[in-house]
Amino acid sequence: MTYPLLNRIDILLPIEDLLQIVVRDYRLGRVLDFLYFEKGYEDLNVKLVTASGIYVVKIFNINRSYGRPQYYVKGLVEFTKINVRVPKLFEHNGEYLYSTPGKKTNTFLCVMEYFEGNNFTEIKATENDLINICKFIALINTCKFPVVQGYDSWGTANLVTEFKKKKQFIEPEDIELILPVLKDFSKIDFSSFSQSVIHGDVQRAHVLKNAQGKYCIIDLGCMNVDASILDLAIFLAHFTIDIESLDEVNQLMRLIVHEYNKVHPLPEIELKCLPLLMQSTYAIYLIASSAQITGKNNPSAESLDWQTFGRKGLLKMKKFNTI
């Protein structure tokens, strides 16, 4: 039986056989079990249990050229150097990327440690958690290494383009929520903003915390070089979605900005855009999820949850005061 997630990747062998070869080449012992991580829309992530431990095998999407996987592992390496906890990579013949034949071209994968912990959809983030995570984001934003640019259809920076492409899939009442945000967003000149490497998707599912209180930032699939402020806005949008009081959100934003600026100071003119960029994050999620549900006939629980997330965030922040 062909599992739907396998449509994301291009491999010649059955997945069971490929994993056996990977385990052999990486000398990880025999395969005991494996399962797919079903969240997300891009790469295929496999939890692999072997005689020597638990690992994650990331098989890159069929549409990702060599450059994106190459810089995915580059990000993991560089972030480790600056003490941002990310999954440890394993090597095969001195390389982090592993190539396997596909039906059309070679497909790339990498093998990482499995970090035993809970993400922040499973546990509630404390104020201390948010401060620690924002410091990791600030450290990431100090990086300046080149990245092969990728296009993220869920990325806040692409709000205008994605609305034009997908507005036919959006409910009229949702369009009314999006249009005022789109108008203000269109006035921002991001080329004048502080630029750096950004993670691009620091959401609650992409930060893990273990029983010892250690964190791990995962999923660099949206990593890019862009305006640093985008990382901060995306993070705040995701981690404040369940805080109903705008005064409380405002207070938390001030705290997070203060802590972020200790590591990577941003100009006040950029920071004043944070509420708008948070709204823009909700808007792009509403657009992208609506396109999945209506345009691709994919009313999955994940797509419906993201649609609710985007709509809820826009409604809450409709009258938000800037910092």
Per-residue pLDDT reduced to its tens digit, 99-124: 999 999 999 999 999 999 999 999 99
Look at residues 203, 197, 201, 206 and name the one whose alpha carbon lies nearest to residue 85.
206
* Predicted local confidence at residue 35, as pLDDT: 96
Residue 53 pLDDT > 60, yes or no? yes
* Predicted local confidence at residue 64, as pLDDT: 73
Residue 148 pLDDT > 90, yes or no? no
List, by residue range, all CATH 3.90.1200.10 domains of the chain: 119-316
**79 CB contacts (<8 Å, ≥6 apart)?**
86, 139, 140, 143, 217
Q: 4-114 has which fold? A: Phosphorylase Kinase; domain 1 (3.30.200)
**Please, what is the Cα angle at 285 between 284 and 291, to 5 degrees?**
90
Q: Which two tokens stand for residue 246?
A: 């705008």
Cα within 13 Å of Cα(223), Cβ side: 28
- Residues 209 and 136: beta-carbon distance below 8 Å: no
- Residues 312 and 285: beta-carbon distance below 8 Å: no
Residue 170 pLDDT > 90, yes or no? yes
Once rounded to an integer, what is the mean pLDDT over residues 262-289?
A: 97
**Mean pLDDT over each residue of the chain, to the nearest integer:** 94
CA 294 to chain centre: 23
| Residues across the chain | 323
Q: What is the pLDDT of residues 54-66, one digit of tens each?
A: 999 999 998 876 6
List, by residue range, all CATH 3.30.200.20 domains of the chain: 4-114
Name the 3-class secondary structure at 110: strand
* Predicted local confidence at residue 150, as pLDDT: 82
* Predicted local confidence at residue 268, as pLDDT: 97
Q: How confident is the model at residue 320 (pLDDT cuts 50, 70, 90)?
A: low
Q: How confident is the model at residue 199 (pLDDT cuts 50, 70, 90)?
A: very high
Q: How confident is the model at residue 318 (pLDDT cuts 50, 70, 90)?
A: confident
Q: What is the pLDDT of residues 209-265, one digit of tens each?
A: 999 999 999 999 999 999 999 999 999 999 999 998 989 999 999 999 999 999 999
* Predicted local confidence at residue 3, as pLDDT: 62
Residue 279 pLDDT > 50, yes or no? yes
Once rounded to an integer, what is the mean pLDDT over residues 130-134?
A: 98
Q: How confident is the model at residue 1 (pLDDT cuts 50, 70, 90)?
A: very low
Name the 3-class secondary structure at 175: helix
Q: How confident is the model at residue 39 (pLDDT cuts 50, 70, 90)?
A: confident
Q: 119-316 has which fold? A: Aminoglycoside 3'-phosphotransferase; Chain: A, domain 2 (3.90.1200)
Once rounded to an integer, what is the mean pLDDT over residues 292-321?
A: 91
pLDDT above 90: percentage of residues in the chain: 89
CA distance 19 to 25: 10
